Amino acid sequence: MTYEQFTSTLTQAAPPQDIPVLLKALWYDANNDWEAAHDIAQSSEGTKAYDRLHAYLHRVEGDTWNAGYWYRRAGADVFKGSLKEEWQFLVESLL
């Protein structure tokens, strides 16, 4: 699946069933279901990819302190671009 193919699914009623769970979380986030995305991020705390997603989601929420905690747990630098750029970066890294 390409980035364009993934983003074309955002108008569907539900995320595609055959995509990885972290992509499902980003699909939910893009569809304004922060809670569903956050539930996925919390489901495997301590796993770097999930912690990285968790950091992004707290940045979306506006909780920069908590986002910073999760970036550190993920071993990642705080993302310097916009939320849209970070979302795209995460999607592309998971495809």
| Residue 10 in tokens | 């955002």
Degrees (nearest 5) of the Cα angle 77, 28, 11?
125
Degrees (nearest 5) of the Cα angle 6, 47, 65?
90
pLDDT digits (tens, 9 = 90+) for 22-66: 999 999 999 999 999 999 999 999 999 999 999 999 999 999 999
- Buried b / exposed e across 40-63, counting CB within 10 Å, b at 16+? bbeeeeeeebbbbbbbbbbbbeee
Q: Report how far residue 4's alpha carbon sits from residue 45's, in angstroms, rounded to the nearest whole number.
A: 29
pLDDT digits (tens, 9 = 90+) for 9-24: 999 999 999 999 999 9
